[in-house]
Structure 1
Amino acid sequence: MSVPSIGARASVTSAIQLASQKTGIDFNYLLGQAQVESGLRTNARAATSSATGLYQFIEQSWLGVVKEHGDKHGLGWASNSIRQTGSGRFVVSDPDTRRAILSLRNDPQAASLMAAEHASDNKDALESALRREATGTDLYMAHFLGLGGARKFLKAMDASPDRSGAALFPAAARANRGIFYSPNGTPRSLGQIYERFAGKLDKGAAAVGGTGAASGSFGAGDARFQQLVQSLGPDAEVVLGNDAVGRDQQWLTTLDRFKNTTATRDDARVNPLRPTPQTARLAYMMLASMGA
């Protein structure tokens, strides 16, 4: 497997950041998903399906999301060229136009925007069905099992997390034995499968400069970060280093402890500059792009 250059990785990360800003889908989730799916390689191809690109869209999924959301992102020519048949398939009449639309899966900006829009659609549908906020892991379950499969999985897990995943999804288990079974052949529970996906997302995001957990509730880490920074007072200095990347919970706990032990030491506080979550995220992205 090839590894993207620092410049290519920076370009991809910037595209993901832009997609996050435009759609409201969490940056860390999109980054973790891209790393898990393709290793941030825009030219990644699956050996056993038509899945291609940064987010490994298969042809029908790509045509569907471009048809639905392409126009709002400057892809009206593509959206207008796609039609849905009575059987539900998406088709493009002109072969050259079809190839051009499918090749957009290898464009980091188009792929990131469509992945974010697809995640946003799934987020709305899951929250309506589950009547709770969707997490990054919930969205990845929709990516893995499809929206209907994710609804079934998550509702069953909420009711009985120890239930066998293979018993509920036998076809998926046959095709993905390593996910549904442990190395010794023991079936994994729904809860165990869910946690494995959460771990994959978090590790993926952390490996390429993520600023927080990719698997949890969107915005929770940033909100707590902002509260902690504010609680330190107007003259507190907060300096983020690479040790914070991917270990936000540990870092925030340390910051809590720092706040408590320095609450009465006003004379020790200095403030040349107090970062915000937004500038901290930018600093992380800059460090990641330099290979730090």
Structure 2
Amino acid sequence: MSTYGLTTNTIAGTPSRVTQAIATASRRTGVDFTYLMGQAQLESSMNPTARAGTSSATGLYQFLDQSWLHVVKDNGAKYGMSWASDAIQQSGGRYYVADAATRQQILDLRNHPETASVMAAELASDNRAYLEQRIGRPADSTDLYLAHFLGAGGAAKFLATMSYSPDTPAASLFPAAARANASIFYDRTGNARSLADIRDRFASKLANGAQTAGLNASSADMGGGYAGGIPEGANMVQPADYMRIAQAQRAAAPETDIDTPDAISGEEALASQQMLGQQQPYPAFAPRAETARLAYLMLATFGR
């Protein structure tokens, strides 16, 4: 059980919230369910609140800060997160959020399995479209994981070179990635692994990850399905989920005195209402950005 109260495995054949979240993301985006399960197992052992010790990687799919801001900027509005995508700006190739509190709220959504799953699926879908245009064939799950590892452009370069020279040492094409991931690019004796070797290892890791997550991954391209079938009735990503997170964060935050220059006195509010024939007094403060955002999300929920 995680700190968000989310089960991370299946009990008595009932899909956990994490499994349901991944199934929903698969249905909404068309990205293979088995691939998403295998990737989550590899990245976080199905733990929605996992954190890396050496980087900003966080959550079920271990999104780095910049990767998360990028994918939310591109896809957040589809899932009731216009407040987040609109707040994310880009400058000099990097993404940023001007307000520190809003930035943290956006980054914290990586710990929310529904949000993390659908953003991972959207990113995989974008990578698939890019790769298929570049390599001229359908991209399989191992290709998608290469794109996750090297970026879409790096994966396209990897696969294009492997198509005519599979024995090329991968480190010669990706020296920076090799320095940061020596165990992937070199064997225990220090010999450089070839492109074909690395792709085969990724395919094997995905298959093992899917099996560990409770799947029947019977083929190298991860074409198998969930042992019990893709869970039915999984809840769609709802703005109310984001509201609960924001409200929980607000409840946990220390209270501070906030200057509200636009506030009106109780007497002024009552006088205004009497003029309008209303009986209940208005709150004696002006709405703030956070409460406005929650109100927007509540209205968006009604439209689902």
Report the TM-score, using the length of structure 1 for normalisation: 0.72
Question: Greater share of helix residues, 1 or 2?
Answer: 1
Q: What are the Cα deviations for residues 16-63 of structure 1, in whole angstroms up to 9, with x where unaligned? A: 000001000000000000100010111111112111111011111101
Structure 2 residues without counterparts, runs of 5 or longer: 10-15, 235-304
1:30 alignment partner AA: L
AA partner of residue 82 (structure 1):
I
- Contact 1:15/1:108 (<8 A) preserved: yes
SS at match of 2:8: helix
Aligned 8 A contact 2:216 2:224 in 1: no
Equivalent AA in structure 1 for residue 83 of structure 2: W
CA-CA distance at 1:214 after TM superposition = 7.9
TM superposition shift of 1:171: 2.0
Aligned length: 225
Work out whether residues 211 and 281 of structure 1, in 8 Å CA contact, stay in contact via their aligned partners in 2: no
Given the alignment, which residue of 199, 224, 236 partners 2:204?
199
The RMSD of aligned alpha carbons is: 2.4
Does the aligned pair in 2 maintain the 1:60–1:89 contact within 8 Å? yes
Change (3 A) 1:215 1:48: farther
Distance, in Å, in 1 between the alignment partners of 2:132 and 2:53 is 33
- Gaps of at least 5 residues in structure 1 are 223-243, 246-278, 286-292
Tell me the alpha carbon deviations over residues 198-224 of structure 1, each in whole angstroms, 9 at most, x when there is no partner. Answer: 11111001111224358517xx557xx
Match in the other structure for 1:56: 62
User: Is residue 201–residue 214 contact of structure 1 (8 Å, CA) maintained in 2?
Assistant: no
- Aligned counterpart, 2:42: 36
Q: Measure the CA separation in 2 of the matches of 1:213 and 1:89.
A: 40
- Identify the residue that residue 96 of structure 2 maps to in structure 1: 91
Which residue in the other structure is 1:185 paired with? 190
Matched residue, 1:160: 165
Residue of structure 2 equivalent to 1:105: 110
Is the contact made by 1:32 and 1:214 (CA closer than 8 Å) also made in structure 2?
Answer: no
- Aligned to 1:8, the other structure's residue is in SS state coil
Residues 69 and 95, structure 2, Cα contact 8 Å, conserved in 1: yes
TM-score between both structures, scaled by the size of structure 2: 0.69
CA distance in 1, matches of 2:195, 2:188: 16
Name the CA distance, whole Å, in 1 between partners of 2:93 and 2:130: 19
| Cα distance change, pair 142–91 in 1 and its aligned pair in 2 (3 A) | same
**Pair member with larger Rg:** 2
| 1:117 equivalent among 105, 112, 122 | 122
Counterpart secondary structure, 1:54: coil
Which residue of structure 1 aligns with residue 51 of structure 2?
45
Letter in 2 for 1:191: A
Over the matched positions of the two proteins, sequence identity in percent amounts to 53
